[in-house]
Amino acid sequence: MSRGEAIGLMLAIIVVAVAAVLPLILDGYWLSVALTAMMYVALATSWTLFSGPTRYLSLATGAFFGIGGYLVGLGMSDYGLSFWLMAAIAPVVATALALLIGLATLRLSGVYFVIFTLGLAEMIRNLVSWIQNNFLGSRGLYVLTDFTDADIYWMLLAVSVAIFALGWWINRSRLGFALRIIGSDEEVAKHVGIDTAWSKVVLFMVTGFFAALIGALVAPRYSYIEPNVVFSPELSFIVVVMALLGGIHRLWGPLVGVIPFTLIWEGITISFPNYTTLFLGFSFLLIVYFLPHGVVGLMQSLVRRVGR
């Protein structure tokens, strides 16, 4: 292990340790802010695992997240199954779906891929609503558990750690190398004998797995699951935006994007209760114009300046 890696590992351990004790010191409100941030950290980081190196922007997060939340709601409310069973089943279903999507989208590139995933997510949302309407006949899906915010927070933290560990491992593995080549030039990647299709599909399945798992874990917080709420297209967009704000070429990019952005979001919600949406919009514009390379870019140039 090199010196740089050792420092990185130490830093990571400290960050995780601090994050783990937060629920013990924060009050209810700040805990729920931390929980929201943790959810976005997990979602945006797992999104970046695939979209960062390959530069295929996926808008299917909402679909996977929705599968997680919806299956938990359906299993618990209609079939009396346990939360843990459903939280285990949901990611598997999502992974299988991601496999299909991955195989279907192999020929698509650029904006066609982006909008394909968006259309797919919308199709799933409408299909689930229709199935529930015609075959399940549910009377509202309730997820009533005894989980506290702290429990959910710790579960999400564990998921985030797993995502980071996996991301770190992928970056060092042959798979990560392959993905970076795909990102810079897919033709070259093919010529040097990289199985581009397989690499992309596997990574896409990973993001699907995690998004569904997160959706399942967050479901008890919502208590009441509506297909049109959990399969939210807005969530897909926000995850993309948060990851882009941070920077998608580093594993920790989304992390440094999500945290300040969540705080700004809170600040705006509190300061301008009647114009929250308006000022959020302004803050987006400011960030785009003054932070062209995301938070990672800002940090790197600061580091460079200090180093000089």
Partner 1 sequence: MDRRSVLRAACTWAAAAGIGALAVTSALAEDTVKIGVVSHKTGPLAGGEAVTHTPNIEMWVKQVNDRGGLKVDGGQKKIELIDYDDKTNPAEHIKAVQRLATQDKVDFMLSPYGTGFNVAAAPIYAKYGYPLIAVSAITDKIPELASRFPNMFFTLGSTTGFVEGARDTLVGLRDAGVIGNRIAMVNVADAFGIELADVARPMLTEAGFEIVYDKSYPLGTPDLSPIIKGAKAAEPDAFVAWSYPPDTFGLTEQAIIEDLDVNAYYTAVATAFPAFSAKFGSKIEGNLGAGGVNPDTPAMQAYREEHKAVTGKEPDYWASATYYASLQILEQAIEGVGTLDRQAVIDYIKTHTFDTVIGPVSFDENNNSERYWSVGQWRDGVFRAVADTGMGDSVKPVAKDGWN
Partner 2 sequence: MDILISGLLLGGTYALIAMGLNLQYGVARIMNLANGEMLVLGGLAAFWLFVADGLSPIATVFLVAPLAFAGNWLIYRLLIRPLVRRAKTQGQLDVDSILSTFGMSFIFVGLMVTIHGEYFTYSYLADPFSILGTTVAVNRLVAFIAAVAIGAAICFWLYRTQSGTAVRAVSVSTEAAGLVGINVERVSAFAFAIGGAVTAVGGTLISTFITLDASMGVIFTMKALIIVIMGGVGDIRGAIIAALLLGLVETAVATIIDPGLTLVAAYVIFLSVLLFRPQGLFGRRAS
Q: Is residue 115 a contact point for partner 2 (CB under 8 A)? A: yes
Q: Is residue 287 a contact point for partner 2 (CB under 8 A)? A: yes
- Nearest distance, CB of residue 60 and partner 2, angstroms: 12
> Which residue in the set 78, 151, 186, 266 belongs to the binding site for partner 1 (CB under 8 A)?
266
Q: Tokens 């920790």 belong to which residue? A: 252
Secondary structure string (H, E, C) spanning the chain:
CCHHHHHHHHHHHHHHHHHHHHHHHCCHHHHHHHHHHHHHHHHHHHHHHHHHHHCCCCCCHHHHHHHHHHHHHHHHHHCCCCHHHHHHHHHHHHHHHHHHHHHHCCCCCHHHHHHHHHHHHHHHHHHHHHHHHHHHCCCCEECCCCCCHHHHHHHHHHHHHHHHHHHHHHHHCHHHHHHHHHHHCHHHHHHCCCCHHHHHHHHHHHHHHHHHHHHHHHHHHHCEECHHHHCCHHHHHHHHHHHHHHCCCCCCHHHHHHHHHHHHHHHHHHHCCCCHHHHHHHHHHHHHHHCCCHHHHHHHHHHHHHHC
Could you tell me the two tokens for 278? 């308006």
Q: Which is nearer to partner 2, 91 or 246 (CB)?
A: 246
Q: Is residue 104 a contact point for partner 2 (CB under 8 A)? A: yes
> Which residue in the set 17, 25, 192, 270 belongs to the binding site for partner 1 (CB under 8 A)?
270
- Nearest distance, CB of residue 255 and partner 2, angstroms: 18
User: Rule CB under 8 A: which of 124-163 touch partner 2?
Assistant: 126-127, 129-130, 133-134
Task: Convert residues 251-280 into a mask of x (bound to partner 2 by CB under 8 A) and - (unbound).
Answer: -----------------------xxxxxxx
Q: Is residue 15 a contact point for partner 2 (CB under 8 A)? A: no
- Nearest distance, CB of residue 126 and partner 2, angstroms: 4
Q: Is residue 241 a contact point for partner 2 (CB under 8 A)? A: yes
Q: Is residue 196 a contact point for partner 1 (CB under 8 A)? A: no
Query: Candidates 6-14, 50-58, 78-86, 286-294 — which segment interacts with partner 1 by CB under 8 A?
Result: 286-294
- Nearest distance, CB of residue 221 and partner 1, angstroms: 6
Task: Say what angle helices 149-172 and 3-25 make with each other, to 10 degrees.
Answer: 170
Query: Candidates 3-11, 123-131, 173-181, 218-226 — which segment interacts with partner 2 by CB under 8 A?
Result: 123-131
- Nearest distance, CB of residue 137 and partner 1, angstroms: 5
Residues binding partner 2 (CB under 8 A): 55, 57, 104, 107-112, 115-116, 118-120, 122-123, 126-127, 129-130, 133-134, 233-234, 237, 240-241, 244-245, 274-285, 287-289, 292
